[in-house]
């Protein structure tokens, strides 16, 4: 597959281009997610390969624009702040692009009302994400159009025929990149001036008003599958990572049978529950090993901490997923820590 951000990322020196290592380090220090209006976020790599997560970030006080790319098949879950709404436009991907179990089609976009979790599962994906404060969007829509039924902003929806909107957003990002190179660099992205921010919000408001002419029902993806997997995921997160969760426990937690649980996980994550649990465990171990504060740890102790038996299976499983031994990951983390 060709580069999904051809040329544009290299040209923007003030923009951050996260390798997986740099992105993960930012997660550990709370830098990237602290900028995002989310209460919680969770990532699980669900298939072998390199994540290669990278972004272009453009931040304002009441709006932000992100251009996001990632390679290995993974799930990205966010619990947003209800004071924000969002627009997600998947531009390209390999296989299936899932949003809460809904299979996105080309030229579709999701309006996210910020009142519940969102789980995206995708591979070799390039997507655009715009966030706007809800009260700011309400004010701008009212200013543009007068009296409008704001109930339209309640309930997430999927819109079709969004190729033009995606093109306009990419043009807007390119323009913002060019303009913000003249302004002060901030954090590891770019700042929006007040005028730029007003233009971003106005463009998204006009797009929403256009879509209001052909309203679509409120949507949450595959609602039952979403509730089943969210219930299980939230329960798992409260347990020690070393604990082996049995499938019978998951059936009880979800209140469904084996086949229903299996199908729900496949619909939402593209992976059955056993694979999801196994990949989540090895992914968490990788996060631990990449943390520069953990570089003196012993691999055997880490394996035990994450629930692996003392048989060397951890190193084999780890290498199968990430194409390197855990010891090599620690060496890279040490090298990066020394360069800082």
CATH classification of the domain holding 324: 1.10.10.60
pLDDT average, residue stretch 162-181: 80
Let me know whether 71 and 25 are in one domain. yes
Are 283 and 317 within 8 A, CB to CB?
A: no
Cα–Cα distance, 12 to 2 (Å, whole number): 19
Model pLDDT, residue 24: 42
Hey, which bits of 160-270 come out as E strands?
190-191
43-65 as b/e, with b when 16 or more CB fall inside 10 Å? bbbbeebebebbbbbbbbebbbb
Domain end position, chosen among 212, 247, 266: 212
First CA to last CA distance, the chain:
33
Maximum Cα–Cα distance across the chain: 68
Kindly state whether residues 183 and 80 are assigned to the same domain.
yes
Among 9-13, 191-195, 233-237, 318-322, the least confident range: 9-13
Residue 259 maps to a domain = yes
> Does residue 217 fall inside a structural domain?
no
* Selected residue with higher pLDDT from 78 and 212: 78
Answer positive or negative: Cα dihedral of 292, 293, 295, 298: negative
Whole-angstrom Cα distance, residue 122 to residue 210? Answer: 28
Q: Do 36 and 4 contact (CB within 8 A), yes or no?
A: no
Nearest to 97 by CA among 82, 67, 66, 76: 76
Surface-to-core class of residue 311, CB atoms within 10 Å of its CB (0-12 exposed, 13-18 middle, 19+ buried): exposed
Phi, psi at residue 39, to the nearest 5°? -80, -40
User: Can you name the residues that pair with 282 across neighbouring β-strands?
Assistant: none
Same domain, 180 and 281: no
Q: How many domains does the chain have?
A: 2
229 and 179 within one domain: no
Q: In whole angstroms, what separates CA 234 from the centre of its chain?
A: 17
Give the integer Cα–Cα distance in Å for 9 and 23.
15
Residue 26 confidence (pLDDT) above 50: no
In a domain, 150, yes or no: yes
Domain that holds residue 82: 8-212
Q: What is the pLDDT of residues 139-154, one digit of tens each?
A: 999 888 876 666 777 8
Choice between 281 and 221, residue whose per-residue pLDDT is larger: 281
Same domain, 232 and 302: yes
Q: Does residue 2 lie in a domain region?
A: no
Number of H helices, E strands in the chain: 13, 10
Residue 291 domain flag:
yes
Residues 228 and 177 in one domain: no
Q: Tell me, rounded to whole angstroms, the distance of Cα 282 from its chain centroid.
A: 19
Is residue 3 situated within a structural domain? no
Cα–Cα distance measured from residue 159 to residue 63, given in angstroms and rounded to the nearest whole number: 21
pTM of the model: 0.84
According to the model, what pLDDT value does residue 33 have? 56
Model confidence at 91, pLDDT cuts 50, 70, 90, reads very high
């Amino acid at each position: 597959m060709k580069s999904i951000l051809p040329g544009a990322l290299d040209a923007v020196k003030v923009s951050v281009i996260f390798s997986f290592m740099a992105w993960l380090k930012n997660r550990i220090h709370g830098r990237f997610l602290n900028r995002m209006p989310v209460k919680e976020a969770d990532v699980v790599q669900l298939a072998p390969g390199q994540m290669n997560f990278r972004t272009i970030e453009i931040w304002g006080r009441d709006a932000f624009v992100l251009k996001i790319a990632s390679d290995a098949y993974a799930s990205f879950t966010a619990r947003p702040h209800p004071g924000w709404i969002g627009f997600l436009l998947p531009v390209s991907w390999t296989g299936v692009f899932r949003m809460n179990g809904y299979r996105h089609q080309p030229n579709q976009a999701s309006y996210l009302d910020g009142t519940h979790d969102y789980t995206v599962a995708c591979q070799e994906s390039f997507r655009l994400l715009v966030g706007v404060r809800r009260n700011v969007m309400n004010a701008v829509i009212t200013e543009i159009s007068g009296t409008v039924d704001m109930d339209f902003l309640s309930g997430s929806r999927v819109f079709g025929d969004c190729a033009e909107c995606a093109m306009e957003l990419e043009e807007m990002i390119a323009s913002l990149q060019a303009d913000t190179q003249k302004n002060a660099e901030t954090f590891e992205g770019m700042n929006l001036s007040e005028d730029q921010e007003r233009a971003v919000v106005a463009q998204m408001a006009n797009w929403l008003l256009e879509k209001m002419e052909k309203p679509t029902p409120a949507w949450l993806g595959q609602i039952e599958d979403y509730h089943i997997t969210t219930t299980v995921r939230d329960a798992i997160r409260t347990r020690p990572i070393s604990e082996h969760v049995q499938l019978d426990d998951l059936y009880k937690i979800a209140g469904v049978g084996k086949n229903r649980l299996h199908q729900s996980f496949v619909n939402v994550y593209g992976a059955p529950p056993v694979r999801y649990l196994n990949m989540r465990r090895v992914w968490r171990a990788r996060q631990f090993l990449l943390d520069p504060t953990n570089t003196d740890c012993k691999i055997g102790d880490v394996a035990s901490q994450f629930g692996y038996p003392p048989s060397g299976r951890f190193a084999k499983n780890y290498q199968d997923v990430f194409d390197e031994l855990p010891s090599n990951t620690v060496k890279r983390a040490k090298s990066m820590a020394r360069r800082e």
